[in-house]
Structure 1
């Protein structure tokens, strides 16, 4: 396979702002041949901007029937990820599904079964793994620089950055709010760094406080949101115990009265050293900071990633481009994608358990 022929299902913000710009920078490896959206105008607009000769669909099943499509990118609301992905595998397509994998563990497990049966490639859109400081920290962790990592914290907190468009505030279509939206990235980074995918229990709490308060909409990054339609949590917190005894804290919020906003960030505590990725609205530049004892003193070291990122060249490319390039390479050269479906499944299981724990007021034990 010289060029991968791609069909896009869902032509909203994530498709237009991440997938399309990234894929067009990989035009030597792929061709955009089809666009689908239930609102035809959106599909037409996206095609006119990125691939005017592509075919337009309003029913994703008709796109999947197109034999010219090798791969589909699922960029729809969370609740539809499962069925579209399963249908795509049954149609013989490779699938990149946007994060989170699914809005429930049950759906995510169905997707895994369909993928294994299909023999096709499958990955989830966790592009933050491709940021230079994230790749650099992963390399240091793999080198043993931190020692045994026994505590981690997944940061996904905004002071006021509630997305006031699309279906973000629709619990039925998304499955939740900031935890499933941005908390999923922070948890994915943290689990990946710890290389630990065996949770044994989860305790969680969700808050429905600021989302429905008219006065809380002041200062929102994208302007006031419609507080009468805010149906998801505005903040969520989780405590995850792992099989090996290590612990992970999760914090996620679109609106929280704190001074520091940290998003898609992680804190790792190891026996030799600690490390923090600091990213988000409070951090104009993404930082990677190590802390340790040295020569009788406590020191902090800020590091800058240089050279090439693992797996491919192009350190200066945006994470979405690097994600697309690695994904296309995995298909063309029959390699394993960096983001493995089994890892994404664990992310969904933990997030789902936080919501369940909050609803039921008890610790959730994994079997």
Structure 2
């Protein structure tokens, strides 16, 4: 079995999950870890028992090594530069979400992947839930007819992070980039990533800027709530809403309204930190008419014990080993980045804004539409 050599750039909390997932794969060797904070990479290596792994205090040194791929686990603001450098150095890239801070950065990253011939895969592990794949099969089977309206998003009653997550220069955006990107990917991937044309949005940070609710209120620079209406080329509209904090238990279900049927999807779990699409599906119900009457059919969910994060890392590593395309390609996720970029512009200008993507940016759904009896 071919052994692939990988590095990890950034040694914060999420990097530990990458290291743990790689170590479960017998064909992967973690060769190096880099972090721009001096000594932090060495501490990470010691903490995780990576006895044969080299520490570096700058990614450039790590990228000089003969590596097959890298996991990039740095703050959002450095995603673009670090990914582009890694791709140009001939490394395949697994990048933690969100893809980038701006649309222009995302386009630069996609171009670097295309030019280098290396893959850029973005870390949306919920796609590996078998029920997420079932959701996509149902919608793309045509069972709903023409889908004309989608509503998605989620929120925590209280769930505001701090540190790099709330600094605009490092994060770019707040709740949208942190947890909203999961909601967008679930809906857009299900629909085959249609191209957006316009966004009208609103954002606030009432809770983050209030010291009653956040101990770093004086440093809070991003949104803790956002809502948007997104229009697409195919005349579909998407209502999106996301919140880190609110005086409410839920922002509701994800819904797909079609001309023949509708589908309601609930997130997995309960409590103040549930209601965000960063994990599994809790329930799905199909609403349709049968024999002249209104009917609701519970969709049987697929039981599994998969660790979705491990599945994400494994799929990337196997794609590197087997010379396969990126599991979650950047040229899909850049469409989501265009929406987030539009939301921020619309909220700032307090009006609807156009979303413009180069003509050659297009995505294909991970699974082709297929018949599905129900």
Q: Do both proteins adopt the same fold according to a TM-score greater than 0.5, normalized to the shorter chain?
A: yes
Where 1:251 maps in the other structure, the secondary structure is strand
Q: Corresponding residue for 2:254?
A: 266
CA 1:106/1:269 → structure 2, altered by over 3 Å: closer, same or farther?
A: same
Q: Corresponding residue for 1:150?
A: 148
> Could you tell which deviates more after superposition, 275-284 or 239-248?
275-284
Q: Corresponding residue for 2:231?
A: 241
CA 1:225/1:269 → structure 2, altered by over 3 Å: closer, same or farther?
A: farther
d(CA) in 2 for partners of 1:349, 1:209: 25
d(CA) in 2 for partners of 1:289, 1:342: 29
> Could you tell which deviates more after superposition, 171-180 or 324-333?
324-333
**Does the Cα contact within 8 Å between 2:72 and 2:95 map onto a contact in 1?**
yes
Q: Corresponding residue for 2:2?
A: 2
d(CA) in 1 for partners of 2:336, 2:169: 20
Q: Corresponding residue for 1:212?
A: 209
d(CA) in 2 for partners of 1:22, 1:326: 11
Aligned pair partner of 2:138 in 136, 140, 162? 140
d(CA) in 2 for partners of 1:58, 1:276: 48
**Does the Cα contact within 8 Å between 1:36 and 1:58 map onto a contact in 2?**
yes
Task: Summarize the alignment of residues 1-367 of structure 1 with structure 2, pairs less than 5 Å apart.
Answer: 2-16=2-16, 18-25=17-24, 27-48=25-46, 49-67=48-66, 69-164=67-162, 166-215=163-212, 217=213, 225-260=215-250, 266-279=254-267, 281-282=270-271, 286-293=281-288, 294-295=290-291, 296-306=293-303, 315-367=304-356
d(CA) in 2 for partners of 1:178, 1:97: 19
Where 2:208 maps in the other structure, the secondary structure is helix
d(CA) in 2 for partners of 1:350, 1:179: 10
> Could you tell which deviates more after superposition, 82-91 or 282-291?
282-291
- In the TM superposition, residue 259 of structure 1 has moved relative to its aligned partner by 1.7
Where 1:203 maps in the other structure, the secondary structure is strand
Q: TM-score, normalised by structure 1?
A: 0.89
Q: Deviations over 1:303-334 (max 9, x none)?
A: 2114xxxxxxxx52211111112112222222
**Does the Cα contact within 8 Å between 1:158 and 1:281 map onto a contact in 2?**
no
CA 1:64/1:359 → structure 2, altered by over 3 Å: closer, same or farther?
A: same
Q: Corresponding residue for 1:220?
A: none
Q: Which runs of 5+ in 2 are unaligned?
A: 357-374
Q: TM-score, normalised by structure 2?
A: 0.87
CA 1:342/1:36 → structure 2, altered by over 3 Å: closer, same or farther?
A: same
**Does the Cα contact within 8 Å between 2:339 and 2:355 map onto a contact in 1?**
no
Q: Which runs of 4+ in 1 moved over 6 A?
A: none
**Does the Cα contact within 8 Å between 1:272 and 1:292 map onto a contact in 2?**
no
d(CA) in 1 for partners of 2:79, 2:216: 26
Where 2:164 maps in the other structure, the secondary structure is coil
CA 1:305/1:357 → structure 2, altered by over 3 Å: closer, same or farther?
A: same
Q: Corresponding residue for 2:363?
A: none
d(CA) in 1 for partners of 2:42, 2:194: 41
d(CA) in 2 for partners of 1:355, 1:203: 10
d(CA) in 2 for partners of 1:80, 1:301: 44
RMSD between aligned residues: 1.9
CA 1:272/1:52 → structure 2, altered by over 3 Å: closer, same or farther?
A: farther
